[in-house]
Amino acid sequence: MTGLCLAVAAVVRATLPATEFTLEWTHSVEKVQWAEDYRIVGDALVAASARVRGSGAGMDPPADARLVDGVWHYRPATHELPRLRVTVSPYAADYAVCWNGECAPMAELVGMRGQTGVVEMFACPRGAGAPASTVAVRPR
C-alpha cells in the first residue's frame, strides 16, 4: 500500500495509511455539508461517490443524483485525478479527512492551523519515506 500523501508547497506534511478516504467540508456560502469518497488506485485518486445535503451557489448535485433521507448521493463526473488540491483557510470551515474509521481536520494534519494555503493530496510514491501524521484523530 502506498497511502495518501498531504503536501504543502511541495513538502509532504502527513501520510495516511489508507487506500480509501473521504474528504468532507461545509460549503462556505451555502453552509451545506459535502462529502467525496476516493480510492487510491496506482498513482491516481479515483472518485467513487459523493454526497451533499442541499444545493446552491452553483454547486448543485448532478441530474442523476438520488435523494435518500435528505442527502443527495451521486458519482462524480471526474473519476481519476493525479492530485486533488484544496485551500485551507481560517476564514472558512476546515476540511475533514476520514480514513480507516478515523477523521481529522486538514489544517491539523498538515500543521496549518490559523493559516491559509493549498494542500495537495496524492497517492504516496512507493517506498517514499514521508513523515506520518501525529495529530489526534476522532472516530468517524
Cα–Cα distance between 35 and 138 in angstroms, integer? 17
Angle at 27 between CA 110 and CA 112, to 5 degrees: 15
Tell me the H-state helices in the chain: 106-109
For the segment 24-72, what is each residue's pLDDT rounded down to a tens digit?
A: 998 877 788 899 999 999 999 999 999 998 776 666 788 899 999 989 9
Q: How many other C-beta atoms can be found within 10 angstroms of the C-beta atom of residue 55? A: 14
Cα–Cα distance between 2 and 42 in angstroms, integer? 8
The pLDDT-based confidence of 134 (bands split at 50, 70, 90) is very low
pLDDT of residue 57: 65
Cα–Cα distance between 131 and 76 in angstroms, integer? 31
For the segment 88-131, what is each residue's pLDDT rounded down to a tens digit?
A: 999 999 999 999 999 999 999 999 999 999 999 999 987 654 44
pLDDT of residue 128: 56
Whether the pLDDT of residue 132 is over 60: the answer is no
Cα–Cα distance between 116 and 125 in angstroms, integer? 26
Beta strands in 17-82 (DSSP E): 20-26, 33-41, 44-52, 66-68, 71-74, 80-81
Whether the pLDDT of residue 137 is over 80: the answer is no
pLDDT of residue 79: 79
What is the domain partition of the chain in residue ranges? 4-107
DSSP SS3 for 107: helix
What is the pTM assigned to this prediction?
A: 0.85
pLDDT of residue 35: 95
